[in-house]
Amino acid sequence: MLENLLKQELCSMGADLVGFSKLPTSPIKNQPNLIYAVTIAIKLPDAVLKTIEERPTIEYFHTYRTVNALLDRITFLGARIIEKQGYNAFPIPASQSTADDKSAYRGAFSHKMGARLSGLGFIGKNGLFISEEFGSKIRLATILTDMEVIPERPLVESKCKGCTICQKACPGGAISGIEYVAGMQRDEFFSAEKCSNNMKNYKDVGRGAVCGICIKVCPFNKLTK
């Protein structure tokens, strides 16, 4: 099967998890056949996440950017593999922003939606994707394609339940504590604007710094000792 070949190639390039899903519609304008998604996940190192206390660190910032770069490389090369099989492929970068409405804090495609539909995990109260294997200590990227791929896992419902650890730890007040359910809009349970505004406090860490506190405290992550 092409899925098995693709998964083997993506993992050989550094992917820790690969998932497949079918989307309701193509998110790419004028390309309605790109309704299949290949989700790629890379785990963040435990030792780096441990450096985060009340604020992010330079070590986390540089690791975050390095993992994004690796994901972008993998999605590009993965798209080439799909094209060589005679299909169309559209790599979506790990970090992305729309040119038409930056205030929406959205990209061309939600990696988390693709990952959830693939059965790799669920969307948590923190607005992060929480994988079954690695919790939320992952970064995601996606390849959209017209090559038919079949999900290998069933959908996973949110397991956050009554936990409010990330809500209490969030310095920007972005996490409402409301549990995500399928079909819910992000703003109903998580404020991307508050999260983005809070990250402006960390300019000393690096340009475009990210926070990471909600990842550090999430019980699903089980950081090694």
Q: What was the pLDDT predicted at 104?
A: 64
pLDDT, one tens digit per residue, over 41-82 is 999 999 999 999 889 999 999 999 999 999 999 999 999 999
Q: Does residue 206 surpass a pLDDT of 80?
A: no
| Pairing verdict, β 138-145 and 89-92 | antiparallel
Q: Does residue 209 surpass a pLDDT of 80?
A: no
Could you give the 3-state DSSP secondary structure of residue 145?
strand
At 1, the pLDDT band (50, 70, 90 cuts) reads confident
Q: What was the pLDDT predicted at 68?
A: 96
pLDDT, one tens digit per residue, over 130-172 is 999 999 999 999 999 999 999 999 999 999 999 999 999 999 9
Is the pTM for the entire model greater than 0.85? yes
Q: How far apart are CA 213 and CA 176, in angstroms?
A: 15
Q: How far apart are CA 174 and CA 195, in angstroms?
A: 5
> Residue 107 burial by CB count (10 A; 0-12/13-18/19+): exposed, middle or buried?
middle
Order of strands across the sheet that contains 89-92: 17-22, 36-43, 138-145, 89-92
Q: What was the pLDDT predicted at 102?
A: 57
Phi, psi of 66 (to 5 degrees): -65, -45
Radius of gyration of the chain (CA): 17
> Residue 201 burial by CB count (10 A; 0-12/13-18/19+): exposed, middle or buried?
middle
Q: What percentage of the chain reaches a pLDDT higher than 90?
A: 82
